[in-house]
Amino acid sequence: AQSVSQHNHHVILSEAASLELGCNYSYGGTVNLFWYVQYPGQHLQLLLKYFSGDPLVKGIKGFEAEFIKSKFSFNLRKPSVQWSDTAEYFCAVNTGGGNKLTFGTGTQLKVEL
């Protein structure tokens, strides 16, 4: 079975700092990859997704992610974070069958003013 690892559980940054959150998955076949964000007290919202093609994908709110197949990674980046980016971020993978998602354990990001 596939698994997803997010090694950074808690990240604290100052406004305007750059962000990179790690995501690694374990599956040797074709994958679809996602990053979701959950603002405090809210449900999950899709930030971006990768299915195929250009491995650098851009999402909403200035986020982007790079798929590196050789490293089984799909790291999330943002050049300059804002206080409003404070949230929990989840990486997820879909390997087909039933469109099911396997999620990582999440990274709690706190952006300080």
Partner 1 sequence: DAGITQSPRHKVTETGTPVTLRCHQTENHRYMYWYRQDPGHGLRLIHYSYGVKDTDKGEVSDGYSVSRSKTEDFLLTLESATSSQTSVYFCAIVDLAQREQYFGPGTRLTVT
Q: Which residues bind partner 1 (CB under 8 A)?
A: 4, 6, 9, 32, 34, 42-46, 49, 51, 90, 92, 94, 98-106
Instruction: Kindly tell me which of 26 and 82 has the beta carbon lying closer to partner 1.
Output: 26
Burial class (CB in 10 A: 0-12, 13-18, 19+), 60: exposed
Instruction: Kindly tell me which of 24 and 94 has the beta carbon lying closer to partner 1.
Output: 94
81: CB partners within 8 A, 6+ apart: 13, 15, 16, 17, 18, 19, 109, 111
> Tell me, what DSSP letter sits at residue 28?
S
Shortest CB 89 distance to partner 1, Å: 10
**Calpha distance 71→33 (Å, rounded):** 14
Shortest CB 85 distance to partner 1, Å: 19
Instruction: Kindly tell me which of 33 and 111 has the beta carbon lying closer to partner 1.
Output: 33
Q: Are 23 and 73 in contact (CB under 8 A)?
A: yes
Other Cβ atoms closer than 10 A to 85: 20
Instruction: Kindly tell me which of 7 and 100 has the beta carbon lying closer to partner 1.
Output: 100
Shortest CB 19 distance to partner 1, Å: 19
Shortest CB 44 distance to partner 1, Å: 4
